[in-house]
Amino acid sequence: MFCKNAGHSLMVSAGFLLKKLVHEHDLSVLVTNHMVGGEGGSSKPALGESWKNVSHVQLLLSHASGSNLYNISILKHPCMASGQVAEFTMLE
């Protein structure tokens, strides 16, 4: 049987291992945290709130349904101000 706490511990351990590899080998790693339905119709991150503490940079990618217009917002960055938004179009 797989315990919920074991899954959480594994996820956090993987995050810190990725951070270590990034620093030791001068790498960049992109991990996505898909938004899923939460209570009351709000969205929540699929990997949970604790994953926020693992990453150095958090970006939010969003788009209007049926459109190819996207927004990317800085939620957390060590050198850039939060809240900056860039708009772009995805080509098919």
**Could you report the per-residue pLDDT of 68-79, keeping only the tens digit for each?**
889 999 988 888
Residue 2 pLDDT exceeds 60: no
Residue 26, pLDDT > 80, answer yes
Q: Residue 13 in contact with residue 6, Cβ under 8 Å?
A: no
* pLDDT for 9: 82
The domain of 9 spans: 4-89
Dist. CA 66–CA 57, nearest whole Å: 28
Distance CA 50, CA 47 (A): 8
Count: domains in the chain: 1
Cα separation of 7 and 18, whole Å?
17
Please identify which residue in the block is written with the tokens 């511990």. Answer: 9
